[in-house]
Amino acid sequence: MRVRFRRGDTLWAYSRIFQVPLPLILDSNALDPTNIAIGQEVEIPGYIVTGYTVKAGDTLWQLARQRGLPVDALLLLNPNVIPDRLAVGSQLNIPLRVTWFIVDTIKPYDSAALQSDLNRLAEVYPFIRRRNIGASVLGKPIPELRIGSGAVTVHMNGSFHANEWITTAILVRFLNHYALSLVNGTPIRGLDMRPFYDAVTLSMVPMVNPDGVDLVIRGLPEQEPWRSRVLEWNGGSTDFSGWKANIRGVDLNDQFPALWDREAARNPKEPGPRDYPGTGPLTEPEAVAMAELTRSGDFARVLAFHTQGEEIYWGFQNLEPPESEVIVNEFARVSGYTPVRTIESYAGYKDWFIQDWRRPGFTIELGRGVNPLPLSQYGEIYERALGILLASLYM
């Protein structure tokens, strides 16, 4: 919601009028708070504007009181209104505090759904910072979101694997949940989120593999040669529910320089629905984008969300630091998932992170069953994942 700055206004006053923490207003606006021009637009997070038709007997005071707002909140959105001269039938702009989830993530969650929901979140919560870290083979953006202003940066990602797209829906719901809690001061599982905003910067890439996700959910792409190639690689079947790879038939979570040769030796040698690691590490634009983000991100820990198995993988070649075990035990406590230190798997994103940074990295396998997991599991998956998502901010 935007208001126009008036003579004598301050961002601190806006914080009081709308009952929104001042840091969220500051982070929603690229402004020098000591030098804001009269008439300049200022974003107020956590509100939308609704219309109201004035009825006989209405006053600004009554309308404000009914909505739990000071009269000045209405005056800010209706600068041309004379308070004691409301004309019956005229239109007023009314600020409405958002107290509900503004995006519906319980749906087949393709790249278009992601972009639409991120647009909506950015509109209502402009303190969420958004940028594209790269593009897929087919040119689809790979967005990263950042929220918080702390010195410690925690990174999360989802949908490395195409048929694990429910991980994206889980992450975006958490982003909405977190922002909603911050603005309204409503705790999540008894935890006040505002101290985490000050202490931690959360980095999130909800969908690493947009081409693959769209293939699984929407079917064959229109573009050649990819339309013909993926059909051939999939054995002529138009059922792509078993597809994990990107559109070039490369498994993006086998693309990282962490014993890549060992992974390549035991996996398919040609492109296909799953497990082909490519001709070398970091050949795919999606993997390159994640590598470049990680090299510049100074992440304290990373969480890669996958499905399925209800397990948490937390080690790699005994290179993980001692605190990894403390963290994974907390993740296990709050989720009921089983910690697994090592398995015979290499070249994954968290493997590379542990190897090169010697910091905690985790692969979290959400849910249980056959991928893609059905949306009927969504509620349970979110509730169990929520414990891990919260713990990643306080550990």
Which of the residues are catalytic? 365
| Contact between residue 164 and residue 240 where contact means Cβ atoms under 8 Å apart | no
What CA–CA distances, in Å, run from 210 to 59, 213, 222, 339? 51, 5, 15, 29
Indicate the DSSP class of residue 377: G
Distance CA 240, CA 243 (A): 5
Q: What are phi and psi of 216, to 5 degrees?
A: -65, -45
**269: which 2 tokens?**
């040698």
Q: What is the 3-state secondary structure (H, E, C) of 243-286?
A: CCCCCCCCCHHHCCCCCHHHHHHHCCCCCCCCCCCCCCCCCCHH
Neighbouring C-beta atoms of residue 317, cutoff 10 Å: 12
Distance CA 121, CA 133 (A): 19
Distance CA 322, CA 183 (A): 36
Indicate the DSSP class of residue 224: T
Q: Which of these, 317, 302, 299, lies nearest to 364 by C-alpha position?
A: 302
Indicate the DSSP class of residue 162: G
Distance CA 179, CA 148 (A): 10
Q: Which of these, 255, 353, 244, 367, lies nearest to 304 by C-alpha position?
A: 353
| Contact between residue 307 and residue 166 where contact means Cβ atoms under 8 Å apart | yes
β-pairing, 152-158 with 301-307?
A: parallel
Q: Is 220 helix (H, G, I), strand (E, B) or coil?
A: coil
| Contact between residue 300 and residue 359 where contact means Cβ atoms under 8 Å apart | yes
Q: What are phi and psi of 285, to 5 degrees?
A: -60, -30
**241: which 2 tokens?**
């529910």
Q: What is the dihedral of CA 231, 234, 240, 245, to 10 degrees?
A: -100
